[in-house]
Amino acid sequence: MTTIPLFPLNIVLFPGGPLPLRIFETRYVDMVRRCMREGEGFGVVLIREGKEVGPAETFDIGTLAKIVDFDQLPDGLLGLQCVGERRFRILARRRQADGLHIGDVEWLAAEPELLVPERHARLAQLLGGVLPQLGEAYAGVTLRLEDAAWVGHRLAEILPMDLADKQFCLELEDPIRRLDVLGPLIEISSDQGTDAVD
């Protein structure tokens, strides 16, 4: 069991996924300073009920975010570039006096490295064509289009899905099952001419 700071957001962060943030609340500025000083990450968890700036109930499974770059934005806020690392499950949580959420978590096992099955080869091909068009967030990302977990994570984060559906994909532990879930959504989006996949 490990104790980490938690950042409730209206975002689902996947392992290997980019996370740009603008930080303005004192509790999170302090959290970032501490994370950078200690070389640690923070947990990103999807809000189930509530708001980012107020009390929020979150899902139990989230993803550790590692800070890879930061700068001062023109509006004076702190800009962060983060990347998702490993998934965790919250076992216990509490709130500090400054409002920062803290969680006792257990790390979930890394997903097995499986090849994208032939029936989902089109998903990998579509992803390979789309990611380079998505701007700075994916610039320089090494494509791992043969890796079922990597392909599923990238598709789940960029497809226009409800957050609850993204969370469902995050919680799945079988990379092939995730592709089975996402495959029909890709077909629907393609039929409708959605830019995210066409």
| More confident call, 51 vs 170 | 170
Sort strands 42-50 and 2-9 into parallel, antiparallel or unpaired.
Answer: parallel
Strand partners, 34: none
The one-letter amino acid code at 147 reads: D
pLDDT confidence band for 109 (50 / 70 / 90): very high
Q: Which domains does the chain have, with CATH numbers?
A: 2-107 (2.30.130.40), 118-192 (1.10.4060.10)
Q: How high is the pLDDT of residue 190?
A: 52
Q: How high is the pLDDT of residue 188?
A: 55
Q: How high is the pLDDT of residue 195?
A: 45
pLDDT for 20-43, tens place per residue? Answer: 999 988 899 899 999 999 999 999
Query: Rounded to an integer, what distance in angstroms lies between the CA atom of residue 48 and that of residue 60?
Result: 10
Query: Rounded to an integer, what distance in angstroms lies between the CA atom of residue 196 and that of residue 131?
Result: 9
Chain CA centroid to CA 22, Å = 16
Q: How high is the pLDDT of residue 119?
A: 95
Q: How high is the pLDDT of residue 191?
A: 52
**Range from 48-52, 111-115, 116-120, 172-176 carrying the lowest mean pLDDT:** 48-52
Query: Rounded to an integer, what distance in angstroms lies between the CA atom of residue 195 and that of residue 184?
Result: 16
Please state, rounded to an integer, the average pLDDT across all residues of the chain. 90
Q: How high is the pLDDT of residue 197?
A: 42
Residues near 132 by beta carbon (within 8 Å), at least 6 away in sequence: 138
